[in-house]
């Protein structure tokens, strides 16, 4: 792994760590103030506006990231690509915003909340983070996100005091989103040139962007549709329970998929140069890397759930401990599909295989939601999500099986599973003998991590040795400087 990849990975990992720890501060507070109904209303209305964000943005984030990576060595071409994509996105998001307001702006039950949530569409309009990702300049996006998230947390504690402050909570979230995206425009004068963009340049992006948009919309809609279907077929309270269980799992998942965000532009650039051998090397290292992290995280979350949920969410969300256990397998499935799909299929323009995999997952998810939600509510949604993510991963794996060093990959998984199983037993025993408090979760996390690393040392696992050697070299470097 080159220095630039490692550096960008660290930047993105830093962002994901902060993203993980910010909710650890706000979620317990918000859960107790707003309760499952308040969290459910926020999540349900957000799921509605996200459809319009998805269709308005046309999947520009991933497409723009890739296209900028292709032409970043030619500033004139890169500037033309940026402005033409930006103008196209401006047109589509304005149309999406107008349609949204006409349909939901006058809703009797949640009208005002829907109007506040519409700011998310405006925030999406001015989001240009894809430009900096394509340039592999992750420092700007990470710095921006860190500052905005910190301001958002402070505002939540200052202004959200009772359930009646639900409007304030939603407003803080959407305003922080638009503020964060606005800040990125400060760097535009020094990043891109002022070039004349022809109408044909804008139109030229429509067909390829739609081709890439189809698999993205399939993925994003079924992720959002879970909450919409649950709120419609069950209640907003059930959405609140699902939202909190999914939130913890997805936050941890962010740490695992950090590498995917960094590798997309690098893989796109490598593919453009025709170095397929290097791409296959990146692919296999990434698969080992995400497995090394995702398997113990999934098992670890399941092992601490019973002791973690009571002190973190409060009594109103006790069911979340079981929902989390059911959801944890998606940590591994999504981590693997992120490598196969985002890091390989998309950069190599194999969008048909990618589209088929996520469409299959979307159909399975929707069908299972219709079957399971009436009887099992939030639990049914969790089961449907896990099965759908497994299907996506399986289809993508079959598509790329010839590019994968299968023997090495599965041998590594077996070692990670053995170490995680031992870790689970010890961590669970600790949870049984200690009360449900923050100190218990902390002890479980530390002990579990040590056990996992030590067992892999005994098994002489390659990725574990690489990680430890990297840490040792960094410590030595710091000591020399000191």
pLDDT at 23: 66
Of 219, 248, 279, give the one whose Cα is nearest residue 400: 279
In a domain, 413, yes or no: no
* Domains: count for the chain: 1
For tokens 């429509």, what's the residue? 206
At 319, give phi and psi (nearest 5°): -65, -25
Tokens of 220: 């994003």
Q: Find the domain containing 164 and state its range.
A: 3-404
Measured CA to CA, the distance from residue 235 to residue 243 in angstroms comes to 12
Burial 53-65 (b: 16+ CB within 10 A, else e): bbbbbbbbbbbbb
In a domain, 454, yes or no: no
pLDDT at 199: 86
Of 13, 1, 16, 59, give the one whose Cα is nearest residue 354: 59
pLDDT at 338: 86
Burial 342-378 (b: 16+ CB within 10 A, else e): bbbbbbbeebebbbbbbbbbbebbbebbeebbeeebb
pLDDT at 25: 80
Sign of the dihedral through C-alpha 385, 213, 99, 197: positive
Give the CA angle between residues 386, 462, 452 to the nearest 5°. 55
In a domain, 344, yes or no: yes
In a domain, 37, yes or no: yes
Tokens of 135: 């340039």
Query: 3-class SS at 355?
Result: helix
Give the CA angle between residues 393, 280, 213 to the nearest 5°. 50
pLDDT along the chain (482 residues), means of 10: 52 60 79 90 91 85 81 87 91 94 86 92 90 75 77 93 94 92 87 87 83 70 81 89 85 68 55 73 85 92 91 85 94 91 81 87 92 95 94 94 91 96 95 90 94 94 82 70 58
In a domain, 441, yes or no: no
Q: At what angle do helices 258-272 and 276-313 cross, to 10 degrees?
A: 170
In a domain, 77, yes or no: yes
pLDDT at 148: 84
pLDDT at 468: 81
311: Cβ–Cβ under 8 A, 6 or more apart, which residues?
A: 28, 436, 437, 438, 441
pLDDT at 1: 45
In a domain, 140, yes or no: yes
């Amino acid at each position: 792994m080159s220095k630039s990849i490692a550096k960008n990975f660290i930047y993105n990992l830093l962002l994901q760590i902060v993203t993980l720890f910010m909710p650890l501060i706000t979620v317990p507070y918000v859960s107790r103030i707003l309760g499952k109904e308040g969290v459910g209303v926020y999540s349900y209305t957000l799921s509605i506006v996200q459809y319009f964000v998805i269709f308005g943005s046309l999947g520009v984030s991933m497409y723009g990231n890739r296209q900028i990576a292709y032409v970043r060595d030619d500033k004139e071409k890169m500037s033309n690509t940026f402005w033409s994509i930006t103008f196209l996105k401006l047109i589509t998001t304005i149309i999406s915003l107008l349609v949204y307001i006409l349909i939901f702006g006058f809703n009797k039950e949640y009208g005002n909340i829907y109007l506040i949530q519409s700011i998310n569409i405006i925030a999406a309009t001015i989001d240009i983070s894809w430009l900096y990702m394509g340039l592999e300049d992750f420092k700007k996006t990470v710095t921006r996100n860190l500052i905005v998230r910190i301001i958002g947390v402070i505002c939540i504690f200052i202004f959200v005091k009772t359930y009646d402050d639900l409007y304030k909570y939603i407003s803080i979230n959407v305003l922080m989103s638009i503020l964060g995206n606005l800040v990125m425009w400060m760097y535009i004068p020094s990043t891109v040139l002022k070039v004349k963009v022809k109408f044909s340049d804008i139109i030229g992006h429509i067909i390829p962007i739609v081709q890439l948009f189809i698999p993205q919309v399939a993925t994003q809609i079924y992720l959002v549709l879970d909450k919409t279907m649950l709120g419609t077929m069950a209640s907003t309270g059930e959405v609140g329970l699902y939202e909190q269980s999914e939130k913890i799992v997805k936050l941890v998942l962010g740490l695992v998929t950090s590498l995917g965000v960094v590798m997309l532009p690098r893989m796109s650039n490598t593919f453009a140069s025709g170095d397929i051998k290097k791409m296959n090397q990146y692919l296999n290292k990434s698969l080992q890397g995400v497995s090394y992290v995702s398997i113990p995280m999934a098992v670890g979350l399941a092992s601490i759930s019973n002791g973690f949920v009571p002190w973190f969410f409060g009594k109103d969300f006790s069911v979340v401990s079981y929902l989390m256990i059911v959801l944890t397998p998606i940590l591994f499935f999504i981590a693997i599909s992120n490598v196969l799909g985002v890091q390989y299929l998309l950069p190599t323009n194999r969008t048909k295989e990618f589209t088929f995999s996520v469409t299959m997952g979307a159909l399975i998810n929707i069908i299972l939601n219709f079957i399971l939600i009436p009887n099992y509510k939030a639990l049914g949604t969790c089961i449907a999500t896990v099965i759908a993510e497994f299907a996506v991963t399986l289809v993508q794996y079959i598509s790329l099986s010839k590019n994968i060093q299968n023997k090495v990959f599965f041998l590594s998984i077996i070692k990670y599973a053995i170490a995680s199983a031992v870790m689970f037993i010890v961590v669970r025993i600790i949870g049984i003998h200690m009360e449900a408090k923050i100190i218990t979760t902390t002890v479980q996390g530390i002990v579990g991590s040590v056990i996992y690393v030590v067992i892999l040392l005994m098994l002489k696992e390659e990725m574990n040795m690489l990680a430890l050697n990297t840490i040792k070299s960094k410590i030595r470097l710091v000591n020399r400087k000191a």
